[in-house]
């Protein structure tokens, strides 16, 4: 009897481990921030100024450059995030287009407003 319970529990754990990623859809702003820190900050710096070890070596874009960012079209920036640009890798397989869009509107554009 005890054995059976344990087996059942193990199946539930297994099932939970294989839940498809799409169940974790529509990330909150908090998740986006975590994703920025995880996937982007290594080159662009936490504040978008590229002042990271990798960012200083790369021709890392200063995302927080307000004047520059204001002149960029959303569609072009999204294109760069999803398909990569120069030394920047493509994020097509790591984020969906609507996530990239939220990253742009909720993380990147506000960053630029903070730094001069
Ligand atoms: C390996 C380093 C690296 C990582 C990681 C990285 N970037 Fe970049 N990024 C760059 C470089 C270098 C450029 C400048 C590309 C150029 O203009 O040639 C750039 C440019 C950009 C641009 C401007 C694109 C344009 O059209 O001029 C945006 C927006 C951007 N990155 C967003 C992001 C986001 C969002 C992430 C995380 C999901 C990210 N980057 C991760 C290196 C990186």
Please write the tens of the pLDDT for every residue from 34-73. 999 999 988 888 888 876 666 566 655 788 888 888 899 9
Q: What is the pLDDT of residue 76?
A: 96
Report the share of the chain in percent with pLDDT over 90.
36
Residue-range definition of the domain harbouring residue 57: 27-114
Average pLDDT for 5-34:
59
- Name the burial class of residue 81, with classes exposed (0-12), middle (13-18) and buried (19+) by CB atoms within 10 angstroms of its CB: buried
| 69 is a domain residue | yes
Of 40, 72, 77, 96, best ligand 1 pocket probe by most atoms within 8 Å of the beta carbon: 40
| 5 is a domain residue | no
| 77 is a domain residue | yes
16-20, 86-90, 111-115: least confident range: 16-20
| 2 is a domain residue | no
Distance 89 CA to ligand 1 centre (A): 8
Number of domains in the chain: 1
* Range ranked top by mean pLDDT from 2-6, 26-30, 50-54, 88-92: 88-92
| 82 is a domain residue | yes
Where residue 45 sits, what CATH number does that domain have? 1.10.760.10
* CA 97 centroid distance within chain: 11
**Sign, Cα dihedral of 63, 65, 69, 71:** negative
Distance 7 CA to ligand 1 centre (A): 48
Q: What is the pLDDT of residue 74?
A: 96
| 12 is a domain residue | no
Local confidence band at 112 (pLDDT 50, 70, 90 cut-offs): confident
> Is the pLDDT assigned to residue 22 strictly greater than 60?
no
DSSP string, 18-69: T--GGGG-S--HHHHHHHIIIIIHHHH-TTSS--SHHHHHTT---TT-HHHH
| 9 is a domain residue | no
Of 79, 85, 101, best ligand 1 pocket probe by most atoms within 8 Å of the beta carbon: 85
């Amino acid at each position: 009897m005890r054995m059976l319970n344990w087996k059942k529990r193990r199946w539930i754990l297994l099932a939970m481990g294989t839940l498809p990623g799409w169940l974790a859809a529509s990330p909150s702003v908090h998740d986006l921030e975590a994703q920025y820190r995880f996937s982007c900050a290594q080159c662009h710096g936490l504040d978008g100024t590229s002042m990271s070890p990798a960012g200083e070596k790369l021709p890392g874009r200063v995302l927080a450059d307000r004047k520059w960012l204001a002149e960029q079209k959303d569609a072009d920036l999204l294109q760069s995030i999803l398909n990569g640009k120069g030394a920047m890798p493509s994020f097509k397989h790591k984020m969906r287009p609507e996530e990239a869009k939220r990253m742009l509107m909720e993380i990147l554009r506000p960053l630029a407003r903070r730094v001069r």
